[in-house]
Amino acid sequence: MHQCSLDVRSYDCDLYHHVNHAVYLNYLEFARVQMLKAGGIDFFVLAEKGIQLVVTDIHISYRGSALADDRLEIRTVPVEHGAAYGVLDQTILRGEEVLTTARVKFVCIDGAGGP
């Protein structure tokens, strides 16, 4: 499991002062990049080499609302992988409160679009 944190910025919030639902996708992406870095993999170096990690499916459930200035923790757990694909479970928490859960599927492709 990998864990990272971030602070909610005011511009992430909607008119109701909650984090907009689409912003959670950015938070999840941030956590995936941080997980790669922690494992010694630079996402941007992969891209320079023509290797892309492409999200093919995300199932996300919203359980609570994050607010401006909240400190969030994002946990990322690899649950399945093959030679050119993977599945991750991600959870966004405020303290011990689960705000969002997601299952993310991705594939690894080369510059020609093949595995």
Handedness of CA 2, 30, 85, 59 (dihedral sign): positive
- Of 7, 14, 42, 110, the catalytic one is 14
Nearest to 106 by CA among 44, 34, 57: 57
CA distances from 79 to 39, 49, 87, 88, 103 (A): 16, 26, 6, 5, 9
Does 69 qualify as catalytic in the annotation? Answer: no
State the catalytic residues.
14
